[in-house]
Amino acid sequence: MDPDDRPTRSTPLTGLALLTLLVGIAAVWLFFQAPSAGPTQQLQPALDSTAVAGFLTEQWFLPDTAMLGFVEIPAGPFLMGSDAAVDTLAFDNERWSSDHAQQTVELPTFYIGQYEVTVAQFRAFVAATDFRVDPQMLESQLDHPVTSVSWPDALAYCRWLETALKESPETPAQLRDLLHDHWKIGLPSEAEWEKAARGTDGRIYPWGDRPRQNRANYTGEGTTPVGSFDCPDCTFGLSDMSGNVWEWTRSPYQPYPYTRTDNFENLDSDALWVMRGGSFIDSEQNIRAAVRGGADPGARRPFIGFRLVLSHF
């Protein structure tokens, strides 16, 4: 079967047959309310640290780096959107406006996760909180991205981790200071995600302007361990910004032009939330840095996950 004919293939909003419309009031409630926790399956208290080399067992399996996996994206402008004259694979919903194909957007400094959130990290959250999940979410290998995670599930993890890092004496000083200075851990905005993926030169893919099978997990059969594909050409050294799993953002799906207030205004009219990056089952068209997908906040699919951001929002 041609990969494009698979019934489970994810596509941008214009072709997302799997994603249904949720009433706007539900989106408002989900955005402002912390999801409730409940009983879940019993997990082993200790996880096999040899399966997650490069991650810290004693710190909820976060990456073993100076900022626990958070990578700084400097303040400044970047080019957002797609010009179909340059990128022939661009979809209509990537065009900035009727007058301009792309636009320069200014963003302040923020930090984004080097990797997608892993099964081990999400298991640590569930074990600590008894958060209700489908047990199948936690059955993949520990160093793979967690999948079948809804938008509220992702927010619940972010809120728990922020509190845990604020309270832990083991949190690196720089990270602790940012958290106590009102920076928050959450999902990236659509603009933050795109700048982190493509840098400031408007490239089509995180590594350049041509698809490369040795840079990302796409047109495949399943997820791979986070960081499996080296990307020395990627501007900020992030892993899996193309492929592996689609990644939730905190931006409601709205037509361009994008503004930062899109994340907070008119939520009563939005039922879909933007996801970015494409997945292991997608073609080269859906793993471009500017591609825009949308999903019902309650959607749980084996090709949707998330990564973290540390930002002012």
pLDDT (0 to 100) of residue 266: 53
CATH class assigned to 3-36+56-300: alpha beta
pTM of the model: 0.84
Looking up tokens 């979410």 gives: 137
Could you give the C-alpha distances from 50 to 19, 47, 211, 278, in angstroms and in order?
A: 37, 9, 33, 29
| Domain range summary for the chain, segments of one domain joined by + | 3-36+56-300
pLDDT (0 to 100) of residue 262: 60
CB-based contact 217:239 (threshold 8 Å): no
Which regions in the chain score pLDDT beneath 70? 1-51, 261-270
Q: Which two tokens stand for residue 46?
A: 């200790």
29-84 per-position pLDDT tens digit: 343 344 433 333 444 434 444 458 899 999 999 999 999 999 999 999 999 999 99
Q: How far apart are CA 266 and CA 64, in angstroms?
A: 40
pLDDT (0 to 100) of residue 18: 38
